[in-house]
Amino acid sequence: MADDSTDSLFGFILFILFLAFLGYAAGGVSSSSSTAGTTGGTSPSLPLLAGSAVPSCTGTLTLKQDESSDTATPPALNLKVYVDPNDPGRKCATATKAPGELVRVKVTLAYTADKTQMVSDEATTDTDLTASVQVNDTDDFCVSAVGELIGTGIKVTIPKVVEQCTTVPVTRPVPGLPARSDDKEDEEGY
């Protein structure tokens, strides 16, 4: 029969092994910048979304999609998305509100698979009718656009700017579990 000191030692060893297992599991789900996007068991990651507010969508950009809110006639908000045919990674979005709307307009472009990476522009005053934003180097990745009238609940969404695009899962699989493959598009606003 074992004594109390042996039982305590055995319990302590089990506790240490449990903590070691937790540390191993936590280390397996975190992603470091040195392994993200490589083929060593990690999922490819999206490149950093680079972009900025622009006065308008100009240059070689051509209209790709045009959506309007159907809350009023004429529409209260229009969202237009432009793509550069010579550089498919360059996309631009403009949200335009109807004259007389006494709220600010906002436009956002973001990766469809990772909406934490977004570029937005908001009109500085209630009298500004448009806001425009441009992103670069998105290549074949799915990008979503949202235009909104701040404080009204009126939003216009284009879930995928280009129909043929690639959604990349941004999570790293836990060792021992099958890799997550999520190609389902989230079609809601931000």
Q: Looking at the domain assignment, is residue 81 inside a domain? A: yes
> CA-CA distance, 41 to 2, in Å (whole number)?
45
Asked whether residue 174 carries a pLDDT value surpassing 60, the answer given is: no
Q: Looking at the domain assignment, is residue 97 inside a domain? A: yes
Q: Looking at the domain assignment, is residue 25 inside a domain? A: no
> CA-CA distance, 161 to 158, in Å (whole number)?
6
Q: Looking at the domain assignment, is residue 98 inside a domain? A: yes
Instruction: With beta carbons less than 8 A apart as the criterion, state whether 59 and 51 touch.
Output: no
Element at 52 (helix H, strand E): strand 50-53
Q: Looking at the domain assignment, is residue 99 inside a domain? A: yes
Element at 142 (helix H, strand E): none
Q: Which domain holds residue 94?
A: 50-158
Helices (H), 30-160: none
Q: Looking at the domain assignment, is residue 44 inside a domain? A: no
Q: Looking at the domain assignment, is residue 64 inside a domain? A: yes
Q: How far is CA 126 from the centre of its chain?
A: 27
pLDDT single digits (tens) 129-172? 999 999 998 877 889 999 999 999 899 999 888 767 777 654 44
Q: Looking at residue 45, what DSSP letter applies? A: -
78 CB neighbour count, 10 Å cutoff: 20
Provide CB contacts within 8 A for 75, sequence distance 6+: 68, 69, 98
Q: Looking at the domain assignment, is residue 130 inside a domain? A: yes
Number of domains the chain is built from? 1
pLDDT single digits (tens) 41-58? 334 578 889 899 999 998
- Rg (the chain; Cα; Å): 24
Give the CATH number, domain containing residue 154: 2.60.40
